[in-house]
Structure 1
Amino acid sequence: MTRPWIAAAAALTLAMSGLSTPAAAQAAAPHAASAAASTPTTNATTDQAAKADAVAQASGFKIRPVDDAWRAALPRNAEAATQAYLDRLPADVQAKSAAYWEGGYWMQLWNLLLGLAIAAAFLAGRRAARLRDWAQRVGRGAVRRDMLFAGAYLGLSELISLPLSLYQGWWREQAYGMSTQTVVAWFGEWLMATSISVVLGGLALGGLYALIRRAGERWWIWGTAAGMGLMTLMVALAPVFIEPLFNTYKPVEDGPLKRAVLQMAHAVSVPADDVYVFDASRQTTRISANVSGLFGSAAVRLNDNLLRRTSEPEVRAVMGHELGHYVMNHIPKTLALMTLVLAAGFFIAQAALQSLLDRFAHRTGVRRVDDVAGLPLLLSVFSVFFALATPINNTITRTQETEADRFGLALSHEPHGFAEAQLRLVEYRKADPGAVEEFVFFHHPSTRHRILDAMRYREAMNLP
């Protein structure tokens, strides 16, 4: 709640992986089709599946194993084949997955409420005004004062929130068998991430208040432009300067898998000359991958869990999806759509802030919108707005994930590999939610919908 600028940029970076390309999606579609036709394809062998399942079972996540004969015997009907895949998930696995995912809804609420409570505590008794006066004495200048105040407020808020962060980021992940970190290692990364957020957040919010003073009532327009500029900058720079602070990136060893991924990338004009692996197993058992880059650059990256826990067809299917994000320009499109959402948030904040300040001035000692001591109130308005906008933001992301799924299927020609990978994601994502639940809370399509797309592709292309 306390870092809307940094959190928005981080969300874009992690969820969409900094993907862009000058090619339009329509122009890329023929390349995807030709690549699928020319790239050798294989189904997972029994040995590969057994190896992947052994690693998965060691992490406490068990999917009923199958072989190529099972896949070949699947019904041709896409709905029936999808149900056959979902039937491989034991009841206890689905129950554990649903409990974890649904618990995340409550975590969103508790984080929002805690942030609002921290803001209220700072505003009550004129604590924020006294913190501003301290920042004025130390900073000796409006911009330096505002940056110092913002950094101090963000840092104190993170410190107060540490118990909830520890529960959510470490204890809960340990309880569900997904964290591989010691609490000391987790705290070290939390401290580094918090320090980065405090510094960048202080700079960004100090700049925002400079805009507010200069632009007057139209500050929300300039604030939107500055916010989107910052988010774009973070998406471009985070993979290069921030993410390597938490993980080590190195080239994947030469071999058939690396050549297959690069072949797919080159087939759709993604300017990548290597494939990188990073050591996510230091933190988690989750599988993931991304294709990061803006302004004509691209880095194809996957985590070591994906290499250890999955077969080559699964890796190809996952990387086809990630390349789809890049080719279809999803990061620029998301930034454009987020401009509208952010503009609405700034406009509402501008409309509500002055009346809220007038109403509570006797308690807070803050009367002007351009007074940085009102930052807790500004962030509270933003937090409530973005909480209410969750279905909108999720729909934007979910729509693009569906597009990338379908692009990846055409590129990789691996419907079974894609379906197997989706089963593994049930480790932390509810498999079969209701329609309203998926619309409100899911930033990716549900497992059922994603496997159904794969089986429809299999049925249409008459694949085994």
Structure 2
Amino acid sequence: MSITMLAASAAAAFDVDAATRAYLAMVEGPVRARSDAYFEGGYWLLLWNALFGIAVNWALLHFGWSARWSAWAARRVRRPALRTMLYWLPYVAVTTLILLPWTIYTDFWREHQYAMSNQSFAAWSSEEATGFALSLIVGALAFAAIYAVIRRAPRSWWLWGTGLTLAFVAFGPLLAPVFVAPLFNTYTPMAESPLRTEILAMAKANNVPADNVYVFDASKQTDRISANVSGLGPTIRISLNDNLLNRTSPEESKAVMGHELGHYVRGHVWKLIGGFALVFLAVFLFAWFAAPRLLARYGARWGVRDVADPASLPLLSILFTIAMLAATPLTNSIIRVNEIEADAFGLDAAREPDGFAQVAMRLSEYRKLEPGTLEEIVFFDHPSGYNRARMSMEWKARHLAELPPEQRALQRPAPLPVKD
């Protein structure tokens, strides 16, 4: 009998449905109820975050605060770029302060309510302060660059604004691993172990130019498992968090790292930039079309002369928020398609279908396990746990004859424990 016939015979004997259901049984009862409630609540948070942001920015226009900040900045500096950067300081400070109670609820209280956070309020506040400082610096540079384009190319700033935004997005993967990530976590080289050797062997086999693996202390923030292959060129690094090492088996960790290597090998950074270029182009075009018309009608009441006035930022923020909310199904789908591709790559690279299926169940502690088709398209930026487990078991069925004997049996993993 040929190898092909043996593989087909083995696949026919393996029950993909039963194997998938065995993994889904890991997330049942209170664990699934909590997961579904947490994730479904996030649907409403998308809407409420947008509405609160719109309301705050509308208030800045309606009560004339934005116009006064612009005038204040103009009195102190002559250069337009410095004026926009100076305006940014009260804008980001006041909006952050007004939205702080909502931020505390969504990012701290709710995370503790669902046992998703390990941080004290002091530790959480310290990280929020660090993020705020970064937004002051990076936001001011981006804000000044966008408004420079608006001043110099009033008819085509939507196009140049898209290009600038993509440039900032592209620099993120290059700079973040070296300058941003260490502000929130400590990265240390992974200790010598068979798992480290296997990860580096997978990297070498797939031409990923990394010669070390780093571990970061995410457990101080959350129990979520995570890993990434980040950076570009000289800043590339393979990283995994301590939760992945402490909460999963070597097979699961290897499966996760195969997936992360897939993002790098398949060039997903560039694919995402390309996909989001179309989204940003539509968003900027919408703002370019709508902003002058709204200012023509309400600008005098708000004290905003034209779009080139920094005081127009709240209006642009409102328009961007509306457009990005409407684009949610598209942006989620762009990301999800790349995640599916990385899943397939990881299964081929790591050859750990049961490890990956089990990881998918662990991720379903906070991600709804079995959404409807439309629900997954609209709200999921990663494949659901069900689809990931089924993909893993389908891969296993196709390659059953090639796997070691101990991997061929139908696995029945234990249910996940209920968190306190």
> How high is the TM-score relative to the length of structure 1?
0.83
Q: Aligned residue for 2:411?
A: none
Q: Aligned residue for 1:279?
A: 217
Per the TM alignment, residue 298 of structure 1 is displaced from its structure 2 partner at its CA by: 2.3
Q: Aligned residue for 1:46?
A: none
Per the TM alignment, residue 235 of structure 1 is displaced from its structure 2 partner at its CA by: 2.2
- Within-5 A mapping of 1:64-143: 76-143=14-81
2-side partners of 1:159 and 1:194: how far apart? 11
Per the TM alignment, residue 297 of structure 1 is displaced from its structure 2 partner at its CA by: 4.9
In structure 1, the gaps of 5 or more residues are: 1-74
Letter of the 2:384 counterpart = S
Q: Is the 8 A contact 2:174 2:235 kept in 1?
A: no
Q: Is the 8 A contact 2:176 2:231 kept in 1?
A: no
Which SS does the other structure have where 1:216 is aligned?
Answer: coil
2:284 matches 1:346: yes
Q: Aligned residue for 1:334?
A: 272
Deviations, residues 94-141 of structure 1 (Å, cap 9, x unaligned) = 110000001111111111111101111100132211111111123332
Which SS does the other structure have where 2:61 is aligned?
Answer: helix
2:72 matches 1:144: no
Give 2:161's match in structure 1, choosing from 223, 226, 236.
Answer: 223
Which SS does the other structure have where 2:211 is aligned?
Answer: coil
Which SS does the other structure have where 1:300 is aligned?
Answer: strand
2-side partners of 1:297 and 1:96: how far apart? 38
Which SS does the other structure have where 2:223 is aligned?
Answer: coil
1-side partners of 2:321 and 2:199: how far apart? 40
2:228 matches 1:290: yes
Q: Aligned residue for 1:399?
A: 337
Deviations, residues 353-380 of structure 1 (Å, cap 9, x unaligned) = 1001111123201131111101100011
2:348 matches 1:410: yes
2:319 matches 1:381: yes
Deviations, residues 323-381 of structure 1 (Å, cap 9, x unaligned) = 00000000011111111111111111101110011111232011311111011000110
- Within-5 A mapping of 1:408-447: 408-447=346-385
2-side partners of 1:343 and 1:89: how far apart? 41
Q: Aligned residue for 1:33?
A: none
Q: Is the 8 A contact 2:189 2:212 kept in 1?
A: yes
Q: Is the 8 A contact 2:187 2:217 kept in 1?
A: yes
Q: Is the 8 A contact 2:187 2:216 kept in 1?
A: yes
1-side partners of 2:275 and 2:296: how far apart? 33
Q: Is the 8 A contact 2:178 2:235 kept in 1?
A: no
2-side partners of 1:284 and 1:416: how far apart? 25
**Greater shift after overlay, 181-190 or 159-168?**
159-168
Q: Aligned residue for 2:399?
A: 461
Q: Aligned residue for 2:10?
A: none
Give 1:211's match in structure 2, choosing from 149, 154, 170.
Answer: 149
Letter of the 1:231 counterpart = V
1-side partners of 2:254 and 2:390: how far apart? 18
Per the TM alignment, residue 151 of structure 1 is displaced from its structure 2 partner at its CA by: 3.0
2-side partners of 1:153 and 1:85: how far apart? 49
Q: Aligned residue for 1:47?
A: none
**Greater shift after overlay, 402-411 or 162-171?**
162-171
Structure 1's consecutive aligned runs of 4 or more residues displaced over 3 angstroms after TM superposition are none
Give 1:171's match in structure 2, choosing from 98, 105, 109.
Answer: 109
2:204 matches 1:249: no
2-side partners of 1:344 and 1:157: how far apart? 26
Give 1:258's match in structure 2, choosing from 196, 203, 211.
Answer: 196
Letter of the 1:241 counterpart = F
Which SS does the other structure have where 2:159 is aligned?
Answer: helix
2-side partners of 1:77 and 1:400: how far apart? 28
Query: Please, what is the CA RMSD of the aligned residues?
Result: 1.4
Which SS does the other structure have where 2:192 is aligned?
Answer: coil
Q: Aligned residue for 2:97?
A: 159
Q: Aligned residue for 1:452?
A: 390
In structure 2, the gaps of 5 or more residues are: 1-12, 409-420
2-side partners of 1:381 and 1:167: how far apart? 25
Which SS does the other structure have where 2:156 is aligned?
Answer: helix
1-side partners of 2:349 and 2:261: how far apart? 9
Q: Is the 8 A contact 1:151 1:201 kept in 2?
A: no
- Within-5 A mapping of 1:160-199: 160-199=98-137
Q: Is the 8 A contact 2:118 2:223 kept in 1?
A: yes
1-side partners of 2:148 and 2:28: how far apart? 56
The size of the alignment, in residue pairs, is 392
> How high is the TM-score relative to the length of structure 2?
0.91
Letter of the 1:451 counterpart = A
2:245 matches 1:307: yes
Task: State percent identity of aligned pairs.
Answer: 47
Q: Aligned residue for 1:319?
A: 257
Which SS does the other structure have where 1:181 is aligned?
Answer: coil
Per the TM alignment, residue 296 of structure 1 is displaced from its structure 2 partner at its CA by: 6.3
2-side partners of 1:296 and 1:77: how far apart? 46
2-side partners of 1:290 and 1:138: how far apart? 45
